[in-house]
Amino acid sequence: MVELLAPEKTVTPVSSASAPPLKLEGVTKRFRQGESVIEALRNVSLTIEQGQFVAIMGASGCGKSTLLHVSAGLTLPDEGSVLVEGADLTKWNDRRLTLFRRRRIGLVFQSFNLVPTLTAEENILLPVLTDGRKDLVATLDPLLERLGIAGRRKHRPDAMSGGEQQRVAFARALISKPALILADEPTGSLDSVSGQLICRLLKELCEQEGRTIIVVTHEPSVAIWAERVLVMKDGQLIGDFATGEFGEAEALAAHYQHLITASS
């Protein structure tokens, strides 16, 4: 979703480039359902290093999307700290969070969230132009070429395939050169071929450009592309392993199921 907030003269505090792109310390998030209180996240701590491609797996309702939203500052935790490049998002007001998120965090969702009346090019540039960062317009052409959508730049979303729309959404997330790219089920609305193309693209972005990417998924066929997999259940991290231990998605799926069963 593009956040239309005019830039301000004051600069968002500079974060530390030497700090990891993401660090969570003792994060707990509660939601109220009627008279009950649900702990969506329970004392979660983790560190994502520069250039890592990380997949977060778990069943529906395990807290993985809440973890992503907390990491982006879209939802603030009830307890704990959320640090992006050393900047603690829990200490800021909504305006400062929005400005920081626009500049340092790229967000991609299953539903694409493209503006239907704008072309691909206009959708991609909207966040940086709204932010007054015209210098980044020059990076559009190589980015379109990199994502294989240069020929679709003047097309509106309804004239593009699902895979093309998702690549436009990724281009919009990448144009501001963010410290962190967060994607929530980015292949969920795509056919298997388009989904695997997106996974290959994400892996290449990490390996060739040093991008730091976190993808929420419940599909082993998506997680196998990542370098590292975090497994969640009932709001807690119950597993953290490298995909290099597994040659194919079926072996990863078996290990994932073992972790889920062993935690019961």
CATH number at residue 108: 3.40.50.300
Dist CA 169 CA 174 (whole Å)? 9
Q: Is residue 92 part of a domain?
A: yes
- Record the pTM: 0.88
Dist CA 177 CA 137 (whole Å)? 12
Q: Is residue 1 part of a domain?
A: no
Q: Is residue 50 part of a domain?
A: yes
Phi and psi, residue 48, nearest 5° = -110, 125
Q: Is residue 160 part of a domain?
A: no
The neighbouring-strand residues paired with 82 are 24
106 contacts 143 by C-beta, under 8 angstroms: no
| DSSP annotation string for 45-103 | EEEE-TT-EEEEE--TTSSHHHHHHHHTTSS--SEEEEEETTEEGGGS-HHHHHHHHHH
Q: Is residue 164 part of a domain?
A: no
Helix (H, G, I), strand (E, B) or coil at 231: strand
Q: Is residue 152 part of a domain?
A: no
**Domain interval for residue 94:** 22-115+178-262
186 contacts 198 by C-beta, under 8 angstroms: yes
Assigned token pair, 5: 């907030």
One pLDDT digit (tens) per residue for the chain, 264 residues: 444 444 444 444 445 558 999 999 999 999 998 889 999 999 999 999 999 999 999 999 999 999 999 999 999 999 999 999 999 999 999 999 999 998 999 999 888 889 999 999 999 999 888 888 888 899 999 999 988 899 999 999 999 999 999 999 999 999 998 989 999 999 888 888 888 988 998 999 899 889 999 999 999 999 999 999 999 999 999 999 999 989 899 999 999 999 999 998
Q: Is residue 216 part of a domain?
A: yes
Q: Is residue 147 part of a domain?
A: no
Q: Domain total for the chain?
A: 1
